Chain A
Amino acid sequence: MGSLMEYTTQELAKAYRLMKTIREFEERMRSEYQQGKLPGFIHIYRNQEAIAVGACLDMNNGDYIASTHRGHGHCIAKGCDIDGMMLELACKQEGFCNGKGGSMHIADMSKGMLGANAIVGGGPPIAAGAALSAKTLKNKGVSMAFIGDGASDQGTVAESLNLAVVLELPMIFMYENNFYAEFTRNPKPEGRIAERAGAFGMPSIVVDGSDFFAVHAACRDAIERGRSGGGPTAIEAVSARYYGHYEGDAQAYRDTDEMHRQRKDGDPIVKFLADPRASALDAETVAQIDADIMSGLDRAVERALAADDPTPDKLYTDVYINYEGEMR
């Protein structure tokens, strides 16, 4: 388990780099969004970065994730390229989805990232299907669904839990309890979501979602269980979100004192660097990683904002039948 696990400097640097990339990528996006440079809705993941990174660190491109509307962190943790993401969020032709997806529907099949999902609870059945592929094709792949505490109440999630148990799928239900289902405090006590999943007949565990090491240890076990034919696992990672439901949410429904406490105490990057297990990561390395991230982001933003929009004919591409010129 976590306390016995030792990390190489390289592993620590990778985990740190990913968490910090998510943080800075999103902070940069917020700023661009506030200036009106990105269309649509964006949902910020801050203070949940350790979940995505701990969850995806032991996965490879042959493993799958189904993400949520709050999916930038999942993309980055799964290895999606920052340039492609920035281009997609800016809805440009060169983005992963040619600008047709945007933030809430971003996907990168080459990385096993089966899509953000703007339908709350839409992803788990799809992740179950990817797990079914892995099981049927016997390729040792695993599949993970990210599920918010709000989505945990959707029927699709219950159906997917049941299907995963019945078909013994190599699947991980990665619950992200960030305390709020949109604007409503989730009334369930911490751990209730995992308990519910466990009732379907799979191992379930609750971890501190702001503790990278705790999340990673739980996911390492769950991934190993899936790969070795042991079936599904549920993990409830608890970490209050830093910002609102979407960027621009005034959060009048949140207790201000509690929010400030959560923001301060729940920062996974601060906790990571303060953890004795990360002590091999020296300040110089951290500073170098930070500098690399910032320069990479500058380039990605500059490129994305200058990139071409899709041309009008692209409205009609990538859908099987083209009624252009007939229907309009």
Chain B
Amino acid sequence: MRMSIREAINQTLHEEMARDERVVVMGEDVASAQGGVYGITEGLPDRFGLARVIDTPITESAIIGAAGGAALTGLRPVAELMFVDFLGVCLDQILNQIAKFRYMFGGQARTPIVIRTMIGAGGGTGPQHSQILYPLLAAIPGLKVVVPSNAADAKGLLAEAIRQDDPVVFCEHKALYMDECEVPEGEFLIPFGQARTIVEGSDITVVAISRMAIIATQAAQELAREGIKVEVIDPRTLSPLDDGAILRSLAKTGRLVVVDEANPICSMASEIAAIVVERGFDYLDAPVRRVTAPHTPVPATPCLEALYVPTVAQVVQAIKATLDY
């Protein structure tokens, strides 16, 4: 069935809450009439009641911490951190508490919590509502980080996330919510750590994350007209990362561009470049090139925001430069 990412996430929440009564949804405005800012939780309160669709005050540390405590004691909370930027408010509960329970308690604890959060620039939402921040999260041992770029992946990865016993941060790019594609009906799970090859090609590998998978695919289509065969890989989960898929593609193409909307320093692009240099050096026919946002905050003004986010033209240029090396 064809649906948007927004609809796929909503449908998956409905299905998972119906399947398992331990699944609860909690966060700011989740039980409101319009189902939150983008209507993601629409229909849940009517169907499952306010005991399982829990509206909270604006209190991120308590939302995330309570979701962690609830996960330790028998519930399977899906907590909403409205924008990933609010990580700054509640980082302790993620970094020092939920991510560490299982390890620091010697395997006694399971922490089946999903933190759904919005990421990304677009729409002029400015420095505190537009960041990416998943590299920060992927750097924390014990957390899993998921970055779906289409509705089918959103469904399969969210269902998988809810059924896992470890904490998962599920990053929803807000510029992609209305993107539609075919989504399998019924039970559909995508295992973590399995990248998806969006476009097959033999000349160059492009690894692109979240919304950048869409940008890279457009670049690949543009270059196909010139006879350049680009392989586009969407990792889908950043932790765990399917480094095997990246290395296998590189073995075939010998060239790599990584596209990441994050700031460049300590980004996922940096990490992927490091993995490739360390373990795929013999495959490389050209230096690895990164296409990222600049190392600045996200500007609100649309004219500068458009320069901030990596574009199809930038990706095309990076691919050509890597091929010309």
Contacts and interface: CB of A to CB of B under 8 A. Distances in A.
Contacts of A317: 107
Given A125-B68, A128-B66, A319-B142, A100 B73 contact: no
Interface residues of B, number: 47
Contacts of B104: 97, 100-101, 105, 107, 115
A5 interface: no
B65 A129 contact: yes
A100 B104 CA distance: 5
Contact of A129 (B72, B107, B144, B243): B72
A125 B287 CA distance: 47
A321 B166 CA distance: 10
Contacts of B63: 163
Contacts of A194: none
A202 B290 CA distance: 55
A162 B59 contact: yes
25 contacts: A64-B73, A97-B104, A100-B104, A100-B106, A101-B105, A107-B108, A107-B109, A115-B101, A118-B96, A119-B96, A125-B64, A125-B65, A125-B68, A126-B65, A128-B62, A128-B65, A128-B66, A130-B72, A136-B70, A156-B61, A156-B62, A160-B62, A167-B56, A317-B107, A319-B142
Contacts of B59: 159, 162-163
Given A95-B106, A129-B68, A136-B24, A163 B97 contact: no
Contacts of A132: 54, 66, 69-70, 75
A98 B106 contact: yes
Given A97-B104, A119-B97, A136-B75, A319 B62 contact: no
Interface of B: 22, 24, 51-52, 54, 56-57, 59, 61-75, 77, 92-93, 96-97, 100-109, 141-142, 144, 166, 193, 239-240, 243, 279
A90 to B, nearest CB: 14
A108 interface: yes
Given A109-B109, A143-B69, A320-B166, 20 more contacts: A96-B106, A97-B105, A100-B103, A100-B104, A105-B104, A115-B105, A119-B92, A127-B69, A128-B66, A133-B74, A136-B51, A159-B59, A160-B62, A160-B65, A162-B59, A163-B59, A167-B54, A317-B107, A319-B141, A326-B279
A129 B71 contact: yes
A134 interface: yes
Contacts of A318: 102-103, 106-107
Contacts of A124: 65
Contact of A319 (B56, B67, B96, B103): B103
Nearest to B110: A109
A130 B239 CA distance: 27
B72 A126 contact: yes
A287 interface: no
A233 B72 CA distance: 22
Given A127-B69, A319-B103, A166 B108 contact: no
A109 B239 contact: no
Nearest to B75: A133
B69 A114 contact: yes
A137 B75 contact: yes
Given A64-B73, A114-B73, A119-B97, A99 B106 contact: yes
Interface in A302-322: 317-321
B276 to A, nearest CB: 13
A18 interface: no
A59 interface: no
Contact of B69 (A99, A133, A319): A133
